[in-house]
Amino acid sequence: MNQFLSRRTFILIPTMSILKIIFKPMQVLASSFASKEEWNFTKEEWKTRLSPESYYILREEGTERAFSSQLNNEKRKGIFHCAGCDLPLFSSDKKFDSGTGWPSFWDSIQGSVETKVDFKLIVPRTEYHCSRCGGHQGHVFNDGPLPTGKRYCNNGLALRFVPV
Ligand SMILES: [Zn+2]
């Protein structure tokens, strides 16, 4: 009997671990919400304010197709604003060509973005969003250029470029 139980336990524990790995990525973490109350719109209100494509990125944490944004090749001097609330997020002097097909920056404007870990892919990634309206912008990785070593991989549809 003891032998049977221990054998069952032996099988059960790895099974549970595998199930945990499979189901963890499916957990939906807190969806994008605003830190500033005046930007706390309902889903319907956001839908009227944004294009369907930008709504998908900003409010449903979607990702645009690589190389689909004109902002990927934007080389002029200027500021990249949040497409949801117009908060300035990135400056062109911190933009670099990462070769990934998404606008990439090695630093954000101080205080403009906040991060959280997402488990949409099995490997946890650090998602970042606008600190004012909570709109999802992209993911930040640790393989960027110096001086920060960061790579903010941003959806072009979540940004509005203002040349200076
Ligand atoms: Zn915003």
Q: Encoding tokens for residue 134?
A: 């909570």
Q: Which is catalytic among the residues 82, 85, 133, 153?
A: 153
Provide the pLDDT for residue 39: 94
Tokens of 47: 């839908």
Is 140 within 8 Å of 98 (Cβ atoms)? no
- Is residue 29 pLDDT above 50, yes or no? no
Taking a C-beta distance cutoff of 8 angstroms, is the pair 140, 126 a contact? yes
pTM summary value? 0.79
Active site residue 153: yes
Start-to-end Cα distance in the chain: 77
d(CA 29, CA 104): 25
What whole-number distance in Å separates Cα of residue 130 and Cα of residue 57? 12
Kindly report, residue by residue over 79-105, the tens digit of the pLDDT: 999 999 999 999 999 999 999 999 999
Given phi > 0 = left and psi -120 to 50 = alpha, else beta, which region is 152?
Answer: beta
Identify the DSSP state of 39. Answer: G
> How far, in Å, CA of 73 to CA of 56, rounded?
22
Rounded to the nearest angstrom, the distance between the alpha carbon of 98 and the centre of ligand 1 is: 24
Q: Is the pLDDT of residue 111 over 80?
A: yes
Q: Give the DSSP letter of residue 59.
A: H
Q: How far is the CA of 88 from the centre of ligand 1 (A)?
A: 8
What average pLDDT score do residues 108-133 get? 92
- Whole-number Å distance, alpha carbon 162 to ligand 1 midpoint, is 15
How remote is the C-alpha of 88 from its chain's centroid?
17
Tell me the Cα Rg of the chain.
20
Those residues with Cβ within 8 angstroms of residue 163's Cβ, 6 or more apart along the chain or in another chain: 76, 77, 78
**87 CA to middle of ligand 1, Å?**
6
Cα(18) to ligand 1 centroid in Å equals: 38
Half-sphere exposure of 38 (CA within 13 A, CB side): 1
144 burial type by CB count under 10 A (0-12 exposed, 13-18 middle, 19+ buried): buried
The Å distance, Cα 112 to ligand 1 centre, comes to 9
pLDDT confidence tier of residue 26, bands split at 50, 70 and 90: very low
